[in-house]
Amino acid sequence: MGWSSGGDIFAPVARKMFSVHVSPWRMVGVLLELHDQLHNQDWDTCDDMLQEFPDDPIIRSVLFMGGCIPCRCWEPGKDHKCEEVAG
């Protein structure tokens, strides 16, 4: 059973951190922890956050490191040509 409302927690927390200018590496650390905790609660629509925060490198890094998206250039529903260089 999936849970789709993790974004209702993740997005406001992320927005708050942007608004108070948390440094990027701290933001990645905190959001990655939040992402992991929400995943443990069965949050399965984390890729929605790509639409919520388009082209944001911090959010992309978190989603990638959290295993939510297969690579940093992936977009839901789009034809994908990977820009990530292997090795």
The reply to whether 76 sits near Zn ion by the rule CB under 5 A is no
Q: φ, ψ for residue 2 (rounded to 5)?
A: -95, 165
> By rule CB under 5 A, what string of x and - marks binding of each residue 17-56 to Zn ion?
----------------------------------------
12 versus 70: smaller Cβ distance to Zn ion: 70
13 binds Zn ion (CB under 5 A): no
| 3-state SS string for the chain | CCECCCHHHHHHHHHHHHHCCCCHHHHHHHHHHHHHHHHHCCECCHHHHHHHCCCCHHHHHHHHHCCCCCCCCCCCCCCCCCCCCCC
Interface pick for Zn ion out of 4, 5, 15, 71 (rule CB under 5 A): 71
Task: Give the shortest CB-25-to-Zn ion separation in angstroms.
Answer: 23
Instruction: Indicate the residue among 52 and 84 with the shorter CB distance to Zn ion.
Output: 84
